[in-house]
Structure 1
Amino acid sequence: MGVKDFKKDYVMAQDLEKLKYPIGLFHYPEKLDEVQINFWINQLEKFPQELLAVTSNLSIPQLAAQYRPGGWTVRQVIHHVADSHVNAYTRVKLTLTEENPVVRPYDEERWAELPDAKNGEIDLSVAIIEAIHHRLIITLRNLSLKDFERKYTHPALNRSLTLGYLVGNYAWHGQHHLAHITAALSGT
């Protein structure tokens, strides 16, 4: 492989990384405070309306658009967010009611290939997201800072994480996939 080929491969890898992570990776702060938690809660609260604004009245070709080659379609992304945020809600409940519970991972790639994710109406998943986020916000707004230090264990990551991490990660997750949808739709 020559220098030109290496540079070309490097640029292509960088471009693919930007398509995969258009807003970058999630970064958890060294010290968690109420300002950061409230920022994430506000993001979670606004997310369903942001999603609805971007996805209402989409055509069949728009729902079939992909944000990157080999990536999920807009339809699959929307259903994935619903699946993922239902899991997040369950993890919040488990973390608040059990001591360091072990949460169950799921194969998101395989879930995205199931018939409901590939062919289902997006309105159902948007409604799930609206309902889950509404209930999640009620819970999160009534927690103390200490509650966000509660831990759960994620066996796929082989470590314990805090509720604060979970909240931040899912606030990021919504924005991450909103950027995917926006990118896919900009190409249609």
Structure 2
Amino acid sequence: MCTEPPQAAPSAAAATDLTLTPPDLDDLIELHAIYSDPRVWTHFPYARHTDESQTAELIRVWRRSWQEHGLGPWIVRDPQSGAMLGHGGCAVRGGFCWNLGYRFAAEAHGRGYATQVARAGTSAARAVRPELPVIAYLLEHNRASARVAEKAGLLLRHRGPDAGNPDPDAVRLIFADRELSREQVAQALA
């Protein structure tokens, strides 16, 4: 069993009216229900989880981020009901940047939760390791995620083919809170 990860800085969690907590393997069943739902994978269908072991590994990766960097994605819950809405926040990617990401249950889409969590995650990442750029890595046809990245203060820094995507017409966008070097873009695309 993993040791308990450190909690997020109070100011990061206070930036939203949602309940944000580090992930735990106790979250597996609820998180897998979200990750296995095809309705939340319309922009990236081949990444949908088909086995709980995939989701368990994701939780382990997030917990390592909390242990190694003092920050990682949060489990997002409704403060009144305690129901899991999804996850979101920032984790260090490849040692060179904070990667902003989130995924919410289909029933939670369109309610502004992603924007709240993206802003809280970006703020927390800047507080923990301000020297690292914050990026959002997404597909061009996912306009909702692009709007969330912009609302979190990120700007489009790269647009190009999405190498390795089964859809040969897929276009990858990288939003960031600062200019990125060619090397940083290459690392993000690797």
Q: TM-score, normalised by structure 2?
A: 0.26
Larger strand proportion, structure 1 or 2? 2
Q: Which has the larger radius of gyration?
A: 1
Larger helix proportion, structure 1 or 2? 1
Q: TM-score, normalised by structure 1?
A: 0.26
